[in-house]
Amino acid sequence: MVVLFSQHSSFHSQTGCVRIALGYWLLEETERCCRHSIIKPACVPISVISLFILMIVFFPLFNDDAIDSALTRYERSGVCNEPSYRFVVESIPTNVTFTNFTKNPSTYEIWRRLLADSKSTLDVAALYWNLRDGTHYPTAWQGNDIFSGFVAAAKRNVKIRIAQNIASEQFAQLDSAYLASHGYASVRSLDFNKLLGSGVLHTKFWIVDVRHIYIGSANMDWKSLTEVKELGYVLWNCSCLASELLKIFIAYWKLGADGAKVPSKWPLSLRTVFNFSNPLHMTINDRNAFAFISVCLSTFCLIQIQYLFSFYENHLSLCQIRYLFFQNAFHSVI
């Protein structure tokens, strides 16, 4: 960032006045203030106050968390050159069958693979945790296996961070508490009653090694793997969108800190250059695609994640996924 100061000197009746321009006049000494002298004693405190204001305005910009001196390559070019692959992910309840049904990878299979492939970092946003089942219900084994996968990843020195809704009588968050107490994960809980007056963190997504992402409706609950119909997407090998999604997670992480409040201005490092009018150009499943993560609501502008993919097959096919803060809604428009 370059801060430009321009100086203009004007002399009237042997008067010296320095005017500093910074977008608008921050310091303007009148002829009466500086009459008969270049510097008057009264001008000194005014100058000090003006410099103090400048420090307050610009100091946070130069000390922003995780801000780079330049945009990343994909942000500068607007093109992600990594060939990415996406799959629809589903959970089909036990003993439920469909005719003329194209089987997609199960949520359990994808989560298991993401855990096994994780090498350095794993960031998870979740409403609640209930992967382990103390009643030994027959179909709970998948949840137990996924929980063991988190422990195994942590033992491989994968750094695990969990942003979740605050524990309650309904959701005790015992699984995440276990991971935190045993040093397997860092956990922060968001209390939206304090942050916004009401609401819950209803987001469910994973970011693995800032390269692979899962986003969907499945809770961190064994029932979401075997007893409830769930729908999601997994995107492999896309550090560009993973980096964009990470900005959302960092916002949750900041809001989960002790005494956190929704900031009046989000850090520059969490801003994006991509939107509906300027999406990120990508290659997904060997097809041209466009994607962006949008922001909304002035009080908490990082609530909604919206992906927009356009695929060119026999005709233009528009597949739009909206993952909302208070509800999950998947829309497909052909």
Residue pointed to by tokens 């299979």: 109
Contacting residues for 29 by C-beta, under 8 A, at least 6 apart: 17, 18, 19, 43, 46
What distance in Å separates the CA atoms of residue 59 and residue 119, rounded to the nearest whole number? 36
What distance in Å separates the CA atoms of residue 195 and residue 299, rounded to the nearest whole number? 10
Q: Where are the alpha helices (DSSP H) in the chain?
A: 43-62, 73-77, 107-117, 141-155, 174-181, 192-195, 223-226, 239-255
* Contact (Cβ atoms closer than 8 angstroms) between residue 168 and residue 151: no
Cβ-based burial of 262 (10 A; exposed 0-12, middle 13-18, buried ≥19):
middle
* Contact (Cβ atoms closer than 8 angstroms) between residue 144 and residue 130: no
Name the residues annotated as catalytic: 202, 204, 209
Question: What are the tokens at 306?
Answer: 């919206």
What distance in Å separates the CA atoms of residue 297 and residue 224, rounded to the nearest whole number? 29
Q: Which amino acid is at 306?
A: Q
Q: Which amino acid is at 160?
A: I
What distance in Å separates the CA atoms of residue 59 and residue 161, rounded to the nearest whole number? 29
